[in-house]
Copies of this chain bind each other. A is one copy, B any other.
Amino acid sequence: MKNRVINPNVSVDCVVFGFDTQSLKVLLIEQKAVEGMSGHQALPGDLVLNDESLDDAAARVLKELTGIEGIFLRQFHAFGDPNRVKQVQDLDWLKSYRDQPEARVITIGYYALVKMDEFQTEASSFAERVFWQDIHEIPELAFDHNSIMQRALDRLREEFENRQVGFELLPEKFTLSQLQSLYEAIEDRELDKRNFRKKVLKEKLVTALDEKQTGVVHKPARLYKLNLEVRSKSPVHGSFVTVKF
In the complex, whether A54 has a CB less than 8 A from a CB of chain B is yes
Return A161 CB to nearest CB of chain B, in Å.
6
In the complex, whether A25 has a CB less than 8 A from a CB of chain B is no
Contact yes or no, B10 A51, CB < 8 A: no
Identify the closest chain B residue to A50 (Cβ): B104
Contact A53:B81 (CB < 8 A) given known A7-B104, A9-B7, A157-B236: yes
In the complex, whether A48 has a CB less than 8 A from a CB of chain B is yes
Contact yes or no, B10 A106, CB < 8 A: yes
In the complex, whether A78 has a CB less than 8 A from a CB of chain B is yes
Q: Could you say which residues of chain B place their CB within 8 Å of the CB of A106? A: 7, 10, 48, 54, 106, 108
Q: Could you say which residues of chain B place their CB within 8 Å of the CB of A57? A: 80
Partner of A237, one of B9, B55, B158, B236: B158
Taken together as a complex, chains A and B put the C-alpha atoms of A7 and B154 apart, in Å, by: 30
Contact yes or no, B161 A234, CB < 8 A: yes
Taken together as a complex, chains A and B put the C-alpha atoms of A233 and B108 apart, in Å, by: 31
Interface residues on A, range: 20 to 34
Is chain A's binding surface mostly helix, strand, loop or mixed? mixed
Binary CB contact string for chain A from 42 to 73 against chain B (1 if under 8 A, 0 otherwise) = 00000010111111010000000000000000
In the complex, whether A77 has a CB less than 8 A from a CB of chain B is yes
In the complex, whether A82 has a CB less than 8 A from a CB of chain B is yes
Return A215 CB to nearest CB of chain B, in Å.
37
In the complex, whether A162 has a CB less than 8 A from a CB of chain B is yes
Q: Could you say which residues of chain B place their CB within 8 Å of the CB of A154? A: 236
Taken together as a complex, chains A and B put the C-alpha atoms of A165 and B55 apart, in Å, by: 28
Q: Could you say which residues of chain B place their CB within 8 Å of the CB of A233? A: 244
Return A33 CB to nearest CB of chain B, in Å.
30
Return A227 CB to nearest CB of chain B, in Å.
21
Q: Could you say which residues of chain B place their CB within 8 Å of the CB of A7? A: 9, 104, 106
Partner of A162, one of B48, B82, B162: B162
Return A100 CB to nearest CB of chain B, in Å.
12
Closest 7 CB pairs of A and B: A54-B80, A9-B9, A162-B162, A78-B78, A78-B108, A51-B82, A10-B106
